[in-house]
Amino acid sequence: MSNIGDPKSAEFLARRDAARERIDRLTGADGGDAEDRQTWFRAVYREAGGDPAAVPWADLAPKKALVDWLARNPGNGASALDVACGLGDNAEALASAGYRTTAFDLAPEAIDWAKKRFPESTVDYQAADLFALPENWTDKFDLVHECYTLQALKDPMRHDAIGVLAGLVAPGGRLLMITRSRGEGSDAKGPPWPMMPSEWLRFTEHGLTLIDEDYYNVERPDRTIPHVMALFRKPE
- Is 214 part of a structural domain of the chain? yes
Between 31 and 219, the higher pLDDT residue: 219
Q: Are residues 89 and 47 in the same domain?
A: no
Q: Are residues 49 and 121 in the same domain?
A: no
Q: Which long-range contacts (CB under 8 A, 24 or more apart) does 12-17 make?
A: 12/53, 13/53, 15/51, 15/53, 15/54, 16/53, 16/54, 16/56
pLDDT number for residue 4 = 63
Whether 36 has a pLDDT exceeding 80, the answer reads no
Cβ neighbours for 107, distance < 8 A, ≥ 6 positions apart = 41, 42, 44, 45, 46, 127
Q: Are residues 103 and 40 in the same domain?
A: no
Q: How confident is the model at residue 1 (pLDDT cuts 50, 70, 90)?
A: very low
Q: Are residues 211 and 139 in the same domain?
A: yes
Share of the chain above pLDDT 70, in %: 95
- pLDDT per residue over 119-130, tens digit each? 999 999 999 999
pLDDT number for residue 69 = 98
The CATH number for 99's domain is 3.40.50.150
The mean per-residue pLDDT over the stretch 153-164 comes to 95
Q: Which neighbouring-strand residues pair with 226?
A: 217
Q: Are residues 82 and 197 in the same domain?
A: yes
Residue 97 and residue 10: Cα distance in Å, rounded?
32
- Is 59 part of a structural domain of the chain? no
Q: CA torsion, points 139, 142, 148, 154, in degrees to nearest 10?
A: 20
Q: Are residues 45 and 125 in the same domain?
A: no
Q: Are residues 122 and 220 in the same domain?
A: yes
- Is 224 part of a structural domain of the chain? yes
pLDDT number for residue 56 = 82
Q: CA torsion, points 10, 118, 51, 14, in degrees to nearest 10?
A: -10
The mean per-residue pLDDT over the stretch 80-90 comes to 98
Whether 19 has a pLDDT exceeding 80, the answer reads no
Cα 121 to the center of its chain, rounded Å: 19
The mean per-residue pLDDT over the stretch 141-155 comes to 96
The mean per-residue pLDDT over the stretch 27-35 comes to 69
- pLDDT per residue over 131-142, tens digit each? 999 999 999 999
Note down the domain range covering 128.
64-233
Ranges 26-40, 51-65, 145-159, 214-228: which has the least confidence: 26-40
Between 32 and 189, the higher pLDDT residue: 189
The mean per-residue pLDDT over the stretch 44-54 comes to 87
Ranges 121-125, 148-152, 210-214, 220-224: which has the least confidence: 220-224
Q: How confident is the model at residue 116 (pLDDT cuts 50, 70, 90)?
A: very high
The mean per-residue pLDDT over the stretch 201-224 comes to 95
pLDDT number for residue 115 = 98
Q: End-to-end alpha-carbon separation of the chain, Å?
A: 53
Residue 136 and residue 235: Cα distance in Å, rounded?
19
Number of structural domains (the chain) is 2
Whether 222 has a pLDDT exceeding 90, the answer reads no
Mean pLDDT across the chain: 91
